[in-house]
Amino acid sequence: MPGSGKDVVGFLALIGGARREAVALARNGTAQVATLGAILVVTAIIAAFTGGYAVHQVFLGSPFAVPVAALGGVLWASLVFCIDRSLILGIDRSADARRLALQVLVRIPWALVVALVMSTPFILRICDRPIRLELRREAEQLWRNEVRSLSEATGLPEIRKAISELKASRDAQRQRLLREPESFRYHHAVDELRLAEDKLRSLRAALEPRILAARREIVRLEKAQNLAVTGQLDSLRRQVADWQAQIGRAQSEISKARRTVDQAVLEWETNVKQALDSAQADLSKIEPVEARTTELVAKRSAEAEKELAELLRGSLVNQLRALRRITSDAQNPDAAAVRQVQLGMHLLFIIVELTPIFIKVLARPTTLDAALQAVEFVEKERVNNWANAEAAAVQRAAQVAAAVEAAAVQRLENDLLQKVAAAPVFDVTQLEQVSAQAKLLAGRNGNGVYLPV
């Protein structure tokens, strides 16, 4: 068990940038660099989750979303691990303070970019609920706009407005039938009836006492059976008949006025019923149109709702856009909380990414550093010695080759001179050949003999 623990520490130390030979020399000084390696491993694991989630949201809805997300998470974790490890391995702690600060400043932007890219999927996942609510509100708003647009395109608002007006007109006509007629003729006939009734009451009030008194007088005179009062009786009877005729004419005028009122009421009711029937007929014609149009709009609205649900599903771009709207809208109840989460996660991942760099730069020297410098020095000397030996061998080989070539050239020159001296007579062609060979030897050797032509 202890051996396995040392193996794990050694492995983490190798990941943190230590060399195997240095770890073997300074086994007790690997805690710091092993911690650095553990941070790199943990960061890579976190990157695997963030990358996998981001890739899954990109391919959301695809049957290959899960395997692609798993592969993407592994690739992103490997990339983050390589970037972080290269940022650490490239730092030379033995350099002067100015150069060391420059190395850190160059690496900070890289670490910031990686941290922000890693933190964004975590923010999206943590803020999933407000993001889904924002996407739902957006989908509802877009759906309402789509329904309004479809309704306006099919003329449904105008149809419904016409139906509402026709129903209001129908209800108003029904209410009018329950109330007193409103026509001028009816009111004029009612006024005439009232005048006739007033006249009848006036006549009765004035004439009925007279008629009663006259009748009593007639009865008294008839009982007297006096021929002298016959003329007076006839006069009284004519007077009573005239008064009764006046009352009868007044009653006839009332009857006539009542018939006129009834006719006015009938005419007014007929007109109102015609208006009511007309409104009801128009409703009967337009209500089926409204029903068909409503059904068409509902069908297209359902199709639009499905399309919007597909377009506004929780993909990466939609989530980022919804997150941006939440944080930029001061009236959104989740804006403050989302901004706090966003800031906290960004800072956390920035710290995670910068921690290995600052550990590498600011940590105190350990025996492992000394062992690493010693191993690198030995390795550098070994490489230098090998390079020097190789260069000396190449130089000796070149010198030997030059000496061999010079001896061969000298021997060939001697052979040519002997041929020239031994030949009794040369023609021009032989002399040209010998001269060309001599020039060739001179070009290769640098000090050959030119024969005259």
Together in a domain, 295 and 233: yes
Q: Taking phi first (over 0 means left), then psi (-120 to 50 degrees means alpha), and beta for anything else, what does residue 61 get? A: left
pLDDT score recorded for residue 91? 81
* Tokens coding 200: 């009848």
Together in a domain, 227 and 191: yes
* Tokens coding 450: 């030119």
Together in a domain, 83 and 230: no
Domain boundary, last residue among 311, 326, 352 = 311
Strand runs labelled E in 45-142? none
Is the residue at 210 inside a domain? yes
State residue 226 phi and psi, 5-degree precision: -110, 125
pLDDT score recorded for residue 421? 65
Together in a domain, 26 and 86: yes
Domain count along the chain: 3
Is the residue at 202 inside a domain? yes
Question: Which one-letter amino acid corresponds to residue 325?
Answer: R
DSSP 340-393: HHHHHHHHHHHHHHHHHHHHHHHSPP-HHHHHHHHHHHHHHHHHHHHHHHHHHH
CB-CB neighbours of 181 under 10 Å: 21
Is the residue at 392 inside a domain? yes
Together in a domain, 259 and 358: no
pLDDT score recorded for residue 450? 40
pLDDT score recorded for residue 422? 66
* Tokens coding 99: 């150069």
Together in a domain, 27 and 70: yes
CB-CB neighbours of 360 under 10 Å: 23
Together in a domain, 189 and 49: no
Longest Cα separation, the chain? 223
Residue segments in the chain with a per-residue pLDDT below the cut of 70: 1-6, 27, 29, 225-229, 409, 413, 416-417, 419-453
Together in a domain, 116 and 179: no
Together in a domain, 163 and 292: yes
CATH code of 205's domain: 1.10.287
For residue 94, the enclosing domain spans 2-127+334-364
Together in a domain, 207 and 162: yes
Is the residue at 253 inside a domain? yes
Q: How far is CA 234 from CA 182, 212, 214, 229, in A?
A: 51, 16, 11, 9
pLDDT score recorded for residue 453? 36
pLDDT score recorded for residue 451? 40
CA gyration radius for the chain? 61
pLDDT tens digits, one per residue of 230-263: 777 788 888 888 988 988 898 899 999 999 999 9
Question: Do residues 324 and 138 touch, judged by C-beta distance below 8 A?
Answer: no
Question: Which one-letter amino acid corresponds to residue 287?
Answer: E
Rounded CA separation 159/161 (Å): 5
Question: Do residues 285 and 159 touch, judged by C-beta distance below 8 A?
Answer: no
Number of helices (H) and strands (E) in the chain: give both, helices first: 13, 0
pLDDT score recorded for residue 447? 45
Rounded CA separation 291/282 (Å): 14
DSSP 264-277: HHHHHHHHHHHHHH
Rounded CA separation 220/122 (Å): 126
Is the residue at 136 inside a domain? no
pLDDT score recorded for residue 216? 85
Is the residue at 139 inside a domain? no
Question: Length of the chain in residues, anyone?
Answer: 453
Domain boundary, last residue among 296, 311, 326 = 311
Together in a domain, 166 and 285: yes
Answer positive or negative: Cα dihedral of 47, 50, 55, 61: positive
Q: If we measure between CA atoms, which residue out of 47, 121, 119 comes closest to residue 79?
A: 47
Question: Do residues 156 and 269 touch, judged by C-beta distance below 8 A?
Answer: no
Together in a domain, 18 and 104: yes
